Amino acid sequence: MKEKLEALRTEALAALSDIADAAALQELRVKYLGKKGALTEVLRGMGALSAEERPVIGQVANEVRAAIEQVLEQKQQQLQAEETNKRLREETIDVTLPGRQLPTGAVHPLNKVAQEIEDIFIGMGYSIAEGPEVETDYYNFEALNLPKDHPARDMQDTFYITEEILMRTQTSPVQVRTMQAHRGETPIRIICPGKVYRRDDDDATHSFQFNQVEGLVVGKNIRMSDLKGTLLQFAQQMFGEHTQIRLRPSFFPFTEPSAEVDVTCAQCGGSGCRMCKGTGWLEILGCGMVHPRVLEMGGYDPEEVTGFAFGMGIERIALLKYGIDDIRHFYTNDARFLTQFARM
């Protein structure tokens, strides 16, 4: 009987070594270890054995079973590993092929910049005012201390619709509209982004339609030093925390004192480069203390309140910010241009 068991072990192990798939393995398991399997068959003869032989043979039988099971188990694991490997091999893909992106559009770069400016000023307690793009001569010029025949009207070539109605040449008319709407109440803290129009032949740096952001602050004891503080804070948030500003005296009919504001060139940090034409500075906005005539026309007493105003061109800032070489791109809306602004 012992010989039978040993023969069975030899036979089973030999059979197992040739196994190549899970089904055959299962078949062998049943054949040797199943309820009607060969081992059971052999053990059925146990009853005929003597009491001394029985434990000896029993131990041999157990050893044979364990040996077969062990090999079966190994074989099973080996087959499973092979199968997994095969699957992995078959499922391997070219990861360098392009993925399926979520759709990406873009906000127009001018609005992207305008929103950024808006957010900075909202954070500083400003509201956003709006005004009509078609304006009266009164709001666009006269109420801004630019009476008819004033030589400074030459600075801006205007699209007239009638003698009294025109396309606004600046967002500044919103200053007077806002003051009148506040009916003498202070404080006023607004910015006004919007489209403006001037007769200019279009070229790389000029567009007859463009966008400005106007700012107006009116209150008791608003000082020119506050204007400087406000603009420095804006410039550092917009162009980077190390940005510095400088003010140069200038002229606008609706502010006095007036200034042009330069910021240190973001490209070179102020050491001078091609972008800033070697000066280290970039001109970005005009500003000043609200002219007493303008305060009066807005319904305020210039002896009681003061204010400051500033205005900047959004195109100019977008050109500088993104290094765009031609202002016309903003209005031709070439998809290949617009998609470049899909990033944060």
Residue ranges of the binding site for Mg(2+): 256
One-character DSSP codes across 180-213:
HHHTT-S-EEEEEEEEEE------SS--SEEEEE
- Which CB, 135 or 214, lies closer to another protein? 135
Q: Cα–Cα distance between 30 and 201 in angstroms, integer?
A: 93
> Which stretches does DSSP call E strand in 131-290?
134-136, 165-167, 188-197, 209-219, 245-252, 255-264, 281-290
Distance in Å, CB of 310 to another protein, minimum: 13
Residue closer to another protein, measured from CB, 49 or 106: 106
Q: What's at 121, amino acid-wise?
A: F
Minimum CB–partner distance for residue 331 and another protein (Å): 6
- Per DSSP, the three-state class of 297 is helix
342 φ, ψ to 5°? -80, -5
Closest distance of CB 234 from another protein, Å: 12
C-alpha distances in Å from residue 229, one per residue of 37, 129, 222, 244, 308: 95, 22, 11, 11, 12
Write down the least CB distance from residue 262 to another protein, Å.
Answer: 10
Annotated binding-site members: 256
In the complex with another protein, which residue's Cβ is closer, 152 or 275?
152
- Beta bridge pairs of residue 306: 219
- In whole angstroms, the minimum distance from the beta carbon of 246 to another protein comes to 6
- Radius of gyration of the CA atoms of the chain, in A: 43
Q: 257 or 272, CB closer to another protein?
A: 257
Peptide bond before residue 257 is cis, with ω within 30 degrees of 0:
yes
**Which of 5/218 has CB closer to another protein?**
218
